[in-house]
């Protein structure tokens, strides 16, 4: 009778799996605390470990690594939510046998458990299954991005002065992130966040967005809400959780007098600080209801002047250097701007 250790911080899940596998011929042990699971794994033999990935303090991936060191003969099946598919690549590297998604299919789990504990158990199908899952996840993220981006385009269309603004901010933000040699995955998060940085303006009335002249204090309070509204929208789309944070803080200033929380220095994420500079670059280079476009040289002077005040000084200087060596990549209004 093969022995299995079932680990999940929800006792009801442990009981459900234990009941199903016991009927399938397994000798079942359960643990609702990962530390308890480690003690059991260190003190007795198990043919199979079935563990949730997302647990407090010690994750399922930590238990998988522990099994590799202490009980290499024990096969591991991971339980994962849709939002944790990003962990599957790491699970492959750590040698997991397979995984099953929530909500659990007991028949599917029993089938995987039986295959895993056969003496002549076939090689793990996890790499192939993971490739499919990650492809589907990528497609789902692109579909969600397309939907939210369509909303952002509709918002920009309310103000003729800000059409294409998000694409232009993204153009500068990506170039700055690459100029600063940030990792590819960070650059990608910045790209998505920059595309969606103004989506919270859905909560700002047209009369304020298109107003000619200075805003009143009350009108400016409406504007100040848009990073929070945008972050709340994206937070409700699980796959955009990290981008939501970048959107929330893209109007914070280096000296702490920005909004919504008045974060100073490196308290705001680097992606937010890059979008802050990119957003200002595009605003200065384009006409707005409240001003005419600035010549390129004035934009560079403003970036230098505001370094250490509005802008992270390293990012501002990187922006100036990038502009001076890539004048052909600046997006200027039709007819160009004086240099």
- List active site positions: 201
Residues sharing a CB contact under 8 Å with residue 177, sequence separation 6 or more, in sequence order:
186, 187, 190, 271, 274
Contact predicate 125/100, CB 8 Å:
no
Contact predicate 14/6, CB 8 Å:
yes
The pair of three-digit structure tokens given for residue 249, joined into one six-digit string? 């803080």
Q: Please, what is the Cα angle at 283 between 312 and 162, to 5 degrees? A: 135
Quote the DSSP letter at residue 24: T
Contact predicate 30/117, CB 8 Å:
no
CA–CA dist 278, 173 (Å, integer): 5
Angle between helices 126-156 and 165-179 (to 10 degrees): 130
* Residue where the block lists tokens 């008045």: 262
* Residue where the block lists tokens 């990073």: 227
Dmax of the chain from CA atoms? 81
CA–CA dist 91, 20 (Å, integer): 25
What are the CA-CA distances from residue 39 to residues 33, 36, 50 (Å)? 10, 5, 15
Quote the DSSP letter at residue 215: P
Q: Please, what is the Cα angle at 272 between 251 and 89, to 5 degrees? A: 150
Instruction: Look at the chain and count its residues.
Output: 339
Alpha helices in the chain (DSSP H): 11-23, 34-43, 60-70, 88-94, 106-116, 126-156, 165-179, 184-195, 206-209, 217-224, 226-235, 241-248, 270-285, 296-305, 313-325
């Amino acid at each position: 009778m093969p022995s299995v250790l079932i680990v999940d911080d929800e006792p009801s899940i442990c009981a459900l799996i234990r009941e199903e596998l016991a009927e399938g011929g397994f000798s079942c042990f359960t643990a609702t605390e990962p530390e308890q699971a480690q003690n059991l794994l260190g003190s007795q033999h198990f043919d199979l470990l079935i563990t949730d990935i997302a647990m407090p303090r010690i994750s399922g991936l930590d238990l998988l690594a522990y099994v590799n060191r202490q009980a290499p003969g024990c096969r591991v099946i991971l339980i994962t939510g849709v939002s944790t598919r990003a962990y599957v690549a790491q699970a492959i590297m750590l040698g997991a046998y397979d995984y099953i998604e929530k909500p659990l299919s007991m028949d599917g789990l029993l089938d995987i458990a039986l295959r895993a504990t056969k003496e002549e158990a076939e090689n793990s199908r996890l790499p192939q299954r993971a490739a499919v899952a990650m492809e589907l996840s990528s497609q789902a993220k692109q579909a969600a991005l397309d939907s939210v981006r369509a909303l952002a385009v509709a918002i920009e269309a309310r103000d003729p002065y800000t059409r294409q603004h998000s694409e232009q901010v993204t153009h500068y933000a990506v170039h700055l992130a690459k100029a600063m040699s940030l990792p590819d995955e960070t650059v990608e998060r910045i790209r998505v966040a920059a595309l969606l940085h103004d989506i919270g303006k859905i909560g700002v009335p047209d009369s304020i967005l298109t107003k000619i002249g200075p805003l009143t204090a009350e009108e400016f309070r409406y504007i100040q809400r848009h990073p929070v509204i945008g972050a709340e929208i994206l937070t409700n789309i699980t796959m955009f959780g990290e981008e939501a944070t970048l959107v929330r803080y893209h109007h914070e200033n280096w000296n702490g007098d920005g909004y919504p929380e008045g974060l100073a220095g490196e308290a705001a994420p680097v992606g937010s600080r890059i979008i802050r500079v990119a957003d200002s670059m595009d605003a200065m280079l384009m006409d707005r209801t409240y001003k005419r476009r600035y010549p390129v040289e004035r934009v560079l002077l403003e970036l230098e002047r505001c370094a250490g005040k509005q802008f992270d000084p390293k990012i501002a200087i990187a922006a100036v250097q990038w502009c001076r060596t890539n004048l052909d990549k600046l997006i200027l209004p039709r007819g160009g701007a004086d240099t």
